[in-house]
Chain A
């Protein structure tokens, strides 16, 4: 028993130090027992005062219970009236005694009963959770709590904020708290001067509730001066919102550009450097994506690390496929570009059907690791999704690594030599056949890596590659064949152009317009944005 108590103490200590993230696992102080029984007995309409008392007496310790209740997972045992949390994780049901925080033997559905919640209770719970979090140790949790409270500033909430404001150490959190108080003043102050002062304080804020309140004031405040002040503040806010919307769009454009860059950069090598049209390039991307899928199947318990395995694996799988393709088919069609195009198209059909036969024609879901999901919230109107951000960085990384490889390594030197003058390179003792195979393997391997990145953004299916092949060709042709910098610029400009056209014309028409633009552009400058000059050109 002593042991148990000690453990309980430890749990309590832990609870105070770390903000509670897990739904349960933490015991409640035994003093709350009568209140909990009251909660069990209370009807829906009588639950509100019980919750208020629980909040007041339980303090932060009651958070897990509130969270469980908000999620609708709160049950009680019919016989003993003890509250328990019933959660389902990975298909398995776990039951926890909330008073002790310990898991209990599974009880059947008939022995337990759910504690019901309705919308008004849910609202109360949400506010209570935010209020309780005001005392949290982490500044970001406190800040999020205040922001969550903005939309519903009840008198109790305001008191809590005022109290917390006195002891607040972080300037950022204080600022948000001031905003909440100013918002309250704007809503409740009877003096026009007070309201104008509150508006001045709120100027530039991007929070939804603040904008709503200002909108209301601008429309219906009895004093014209207040209305004007609110309108002025709103204009400033709208400008900032528009600016951030622009940034958001730019980000999506860059994200699409990074995908295009990843897809096209391998092609830029095989097409640009070797002069070989590889219509199976899209299928190399697909192979990379399926490699990611298989790697995740093989290590289901380590999804977080699976990408680190998948990236080299995809490079190897797609690269090997590329080398095989070069040795078996393309080598024999040297100097006959149209035939190469047809043969590699045949290979792409075979690979697609192979994947359909092996994996099924349906799309496969590839899980995102924990650290890639979620988003980076810069302010209330601008949040960048993490996976797109990582892929943008990854695309640039791959690009510069490839540049380095081509400029600094001996393989790169050979590749450039062969691409400039094959016969001369051969007479200098470069094994052109080997260089061809390696170049092709490199280009295909990078396509495989692109597949890993794409698997994090879209569904993995047999048609994955086809969706990108025409776009990738456009990028390479637009940027200028044989020029990696051109590919970079082309990928990002096409991506951004696409995303900025989309709101005006719709997604499909945007891609059509971009295609038509490139077709016309090629008429004007057949060698792309950055044509090769000098001897390398012919």
Chain B
């Protein structure tokens, strides 16, 4: 029961506001789901399936933002390549969904996805084997990005690649993966990626109930990840991680193996991103190499920056605000979105270094004359 009291106590500390966050998240999810399923379409309170799917997409993004916030906000590792883990998780899920299409594809081949028939392949490549099993696919969702993050992190942190070097390396990683996945010979659908999914675990992906269920599961997972992340960061390990952010050499001299902490946190973060990708694909219905593009990964960083890094709820707020703005903007004036996004980058870094959550903190601190949420300046590289 100790962790439960801890959890409730955490709800009151200014850091992460676990209880209010989880309450609001689940309440909104429950209300939106019921409004979609129970209310008739004519009712003014009815929530359309489009909105449900959009919300589900936002919540997947929120997971991805949490992943970036955990390493950037708490450990000072700016990854410009988290889209890679997101997309890898998405591809693993996409492969499972692709195999579920069976003979309902355009070419009607029960064993091969359409694009392989199109390329005149006569059998599945070895890495597609087993992907028709849900449990195996879900294992791959976690395993592939996890191993990649471990290898990359182990190599990078062991040789003390830090700061902007690491950022550029992560960007190069996702860029290389993007180039690779664009190749038809890779066997992942090339340019078009994987799409035209029919069902998941036997449930029709187009039906309202499945959509609501996916949305609810995403919300549930987001809540779970939020709580787990909070517990990790509140634990002894979390303290060391923040210490690494604020003074890595000093922490190392105190006797902590900083590289190990960083590697495990990096892997944890990559796993969150992978789960986010796996939840994103069935709701959006497509995964293509564009998800690997460096721009996508860097957009995640701006969500976190806007919301406020170093606070978990800040990352989620940032996702919702920026993505809502993006949805509106691209509908009204598509030309303006990149202007807005670009200016957002500049203005947030110049005037809101701690994001909106930090703004709130600054305002309350101004009233109380207490700087308990102050985020220390980043150490020089």
Contacts and interface: CB of A to CB of B under 8 A. Distances in A.
B345 A470 contact: no
B315 to A, nearest CB: 15
Given A348-B342, A349-B338, A353-B339, A470 B349 contact: no
A108 B30 CA distance: 79
Contacts of A523: 155-156, 158-159, 161
Interface stretch (A223-231, A236-244, A330-338): A330-338
Contact of A342 (B172, B301, B343): B301
A192 B15 CA distance: 96
Contact of B345 (A345, A515, A526): A345
Contacts of B164: 277, 337-338, 341
B221 interface: no
A520 B183 contact: no
Interface string B296-331: 001001100100000000000000000000000000
Contact of B335 (A353, A473, A508): A353
Interface in B330-344: 335, 338-339, 341-344
Interface in A305-349: 329, 332-333, 335-343, 345-349
Contacts of A520: 155
B183 A338 contact: no
A291 interface: no
A342 B176 contact: no
B180 interface: yes
A450 B302 CA distance: 30
Contacts of B348: 342
Interface string B267-298: 00000000000000000000000000010001
Nearest to A279: B298
A353 B342 CA distance: 9
A57 B137 CA distance: 83
Nearest to A335: B380
Nearest to B345: A346
A200 interface: no
B187 interface: no
B342 A349 contact: yes
A428 to B, nearest CB: 22
A352 B338 contact: yes
Nearest to B159: A523
A188 interface: no
Which residue, A338, A339, A350, A508, has most C-beta atoms of chain B within 10 A? Answer: A338
B351 to A, nearest CB: 9
Nearest to A337: B164
A338 B156 CA distance: 17
A474 interface: yes
A356 interface: yes
A336 B167 contact: no
Given A353-B339, A508-B179, A342 B345 contact: yes
B342 A347 contact: yes
B343 A346 contact: yes
B169 A522 contact: yes
Nearest to A512: B176
A509 B302 CA distance: 31
B361 interface: no
Interface residues of A, number: 43
A127 B342 CA distance: 62
A333 B156 contact: no
A341 B159 contact: no
B41 to A, nearest CB: 38
A362 interface: no
B175 interface: yes
A99 interface: no
A342 B306 CA distance: 12
A110 interface: no
A336 B379 CA distance: 8
A526 B164 CA distance: 12
A449 to B, nearest CB: 24
A526 B169 contact: no
B350 interface: yes
Contacts of B171: 470, 473
Contacts of A329: 346, 350
Interface string A351-373: 11110110000000000000000
B349 A333 contact: yes
B349 A343 contact: yes
A516 B180 CA distance: 12
Interface string B145-179: 00000001001101111011101110111011001
A522 B159 CA distance: 9
A509 B183 contact: yes
Contacts of B158: 523
B78 to A, nearest CB: 5
Contacts of B381: 275, 337
Given A332-B350, A345-B345, A515 B176 contact: yes
B175 A470 contact: yes
B120 interface: no
A439 interface: no
A477 B165 contact: yes
A470 B182 contact: no
A139 interface: no
B264 to A, nearest CB: 18
B160 A526 contact: yes
B207 interface: no
Given A277-B164, A353-B335, A526-B160, A343 B346 contact: yes
Contacts of B339: 349-350, 353-354
A411 interface: no
Given A357-B335, A516-B176, A523-B156, 9 more contacts: A277-B168, A343-B345, A343-B349, A349-B345, A350-B338, A353-B342, A512-B179, A512-B180, A515-B176
9 contacts: A329-B350, A338-B167, A342-B301, A342-B345, A346-B302, A346-B344, A477-B165, A518-B172, A519-B152
Interface of A: 275, 277, 329, 332-333, 335-343, 345-354, 356-357, 470, 473-474, 477, 508-509, 511-512, 515-516, 518-520, 522-524, 526
Interface of B: 78, 152, 155-156, 158-161, 163-165, 167-169, 171-173, 175-176, 179-180, 182-183, 294, 298, 301-302, 305, 335, 338-339, 341-346, 348-350, 353, 377-378, 380-381
